[in-house]
Amino acid sequence: MRKVKVLVLYGHGINCDNETKKAFELAGACVEKAHTNELIEGSKKLDSYDILAFPGGFSFGDDIAAGKIHAVKFKYKLKKNLLKFISDKKLIIGICNGFQIMVKLGFLPGINDDYWTQKVTLAFNDSGKFEDRWINLKVEKSPCVFTKGIKNLYLPIRHGEGKFYAEPKTLAKLKKENLIVLRYANPNGEKASKYPHNPNGSLDNIAGICDPSGRIFGLMPHPEAYIYRENHPKHTRETLPEKGVGLAIFENAVKYVKENL
């Protein structure tokens, strides 16, 4: 069987690297962690992996703006390697701070074949506060390979800068090309009507988007935070599957690589 190789970034204040690694392992992949500087030095090669994960955290302390400085580092030090990775049709996922980095790089939504110009943003939450709370998500119809077959999700958000924002023209394009992957929802599964179901004031309840290929995906909620049944906040009072529901995202990615790369 083909081994699926995943590279999980760490260092520079990234802090969800261990659980992201675990999630991919539970999904059946071979996972390695790499410090961004190892990629820059060349002691680890991006080329030898199938999936790249930008985990959550506070890279560079969220200073200036969340994800900004890490995005700069990638743009000025690893642009070529990343371009090759994308053109090889490999997968990239960015979670929370990882999503912020990808948005600020321009990787997402990656429309018009442009992966290097920022087109959308993740701004300070409307509440002005960092919040850790579990929210409902509706999975929209999209080309995203990570969410294939999933209808709803219940995951935690843990951020202070997660308010999705785009100009009307960009938003129209996202809708037209079905690039909106996840929307914050009410407990009944319908589009969230207000806080706290939409926890940050995101435009059109957007919680995650992908590029037109569906292979590059970013989201604010944390699927790697629900990899065991007991991660669920109500596991002592609800009937739940033994396996963490967030795992499905990682399993989809591994399956895609096995079938397509």
Partner 1 sequence: MHTIEVTFKTRLKNAFAEHKQREILDLGFQVKFVKEVTLYSIDKKFSKKDLNILAQELFSDPLIQEFSVDRSLIGKFSWDWLIHVKNLPGVKDNTGERAQEAIQDILHTKFNKGEAVYTSKYFLIKGCLNKPDVEKIAKGVFAYESVESWHVIDKKTYLEKGYMPEIPKVLIAHKPKISKLELGSVQELLSLSKQKNLALNIEEMQKIKEYFLRADVIKNRKHIGLDNNPTDAELEVLAQTWSEHCKHKIFNAYVEYTEGGKTKYINSLFKTYIRASTEKLKKKLKWMVSTLWDNSGVIEFNNNYLFAFKCETHNSPSAKYPYGGALTGIVGVYRDPMGTGKGCKLIYGTYGFCTGEPNYDGDLKPEIHPKRLLEGVRQGVQDGGNKHGVPTPYGIVFFDNGYLGKPALYVLAAGLIPKIINGEGGSEKQTDPGDLIIMCGGKVGIDGIHGATESSMEGGKHITLGHVQMGDPYTQKKMHDFLSEARDKNLYTCIQDCGAGGLSSSVGEMGYNFGRSKPKDVAKGFELHLDKVPIKYKGLDPWQILVSESQERMILSVSPKKIKEFMALAKRHEVEATAIGTFNSSGKFHCLYNNKHVSFMDMEFVHEGVPQLRLEAQWLTPQSRGLSEPEIPKIKNHAKFFKKMLARPNISSKEYIVRQFDHEVQATSVIKHLVGEESDVHSDAVVIRPDFESKKAIAIASGINPKYSPIDTYHMTANAFDEAIRRIVAIGGNLKKIVLNDNFCWPSTLSGKDNPDAKYKMAQLVRANQALYDYTLAYGTPCISGKDSMSMDTTIPDTHGKEHRISSLPTVMFSSAGIIDNYKKCVTMDVKHPGDLVFVLGKTYDECGGSEYYEMFGEIGLNVPIVRTKKAIKLYKALSEVIESGLVASAHGCYKGGLGVALAQISFAGGYGLEINLDFVPRENVDNTDKLLYSESASRFIVTVPRKYEKEFRRIMKGNDIKLVGKVVGKKILTLKGLKGQIILKENIEVLKRVWKEPFNTIKP
Minimum distance, C-beta of residue 243 to partner 1, in the bound complex (Å): 14
Q: At residue 132, what are phi and psi to the nearest 5 degrees? A: -115, 105
Active-site annotation holds for 238: no
Active-site residue among 19, 224, 232, 251?
A: 224
Active-site residue among 16, 96, 144, 210?
A: 96
Q: Which is nearer to partner 1, 128 or 241 (CB)?
A: 128
Q: Which is nearer to partner 1, 90 or 232 (CB)?
A: 232
Q: Which is nearer to partner 1, 106 or 214 (CB)?
A: 106
| Dihedral, 232, 234, 235, 240 alpha carbons, nearest 10 | -80
Minimum distance, C-beta of residue 113 to partner 1, in the bound complex (Å): 19
Q: Which is nearer to partner 1, 145 or 203 (CB)?
A: 203
Active-site annotation holds for 224: yes
Q: Which is nearer to partner 1, 104 or 183 (CB)?
A: 104
Q: Which of 79, 67, 259, 227 is nearest to 156 (CA)?
A: 227
Minimum distance, C-beta of residue 187 to partner 1, in the bound complex (Å): 10
CA pair distance 5, 244, nearest whole angstrom: 22
Please name the residue that has the structure tokens 């929209």. Answer: 140
Active-site residue among 159, 222, 232, 251?
A: 222
Minimum distance, C-beta of residue 186 to partner 1, in the bound complex (Å): 14
Residues forming the site for partner 1 (CB under 8 A) = 10-16, 18-19, 22-23, 35, 37-38, 41, 56-58, 60-65, 68-69, 72-73, 75-77, 104, 118, 120-121, 123-134, 156, 158, 165-167, 195, 201, 224-228, 230-231, 233-234, 236-237
Minimum distance, C-beta of residue 198 to partner 1, in the bound complex (Å): 10
Q: Which is nearer to partner 1, 101 or 145 (CB)?
A: 101
CB proximity list for 100: less than 8 A, separation 6 or greater: 66, 67, 94, 122, 161
Burial of 29 (0-12, 13-18, 19+ CB in 10 A): buried
- Say if residues 136 and 154 touch (Cβ distance below 8 Å): yes
Positions annotated as catalytic residues are: 96, 222, 224
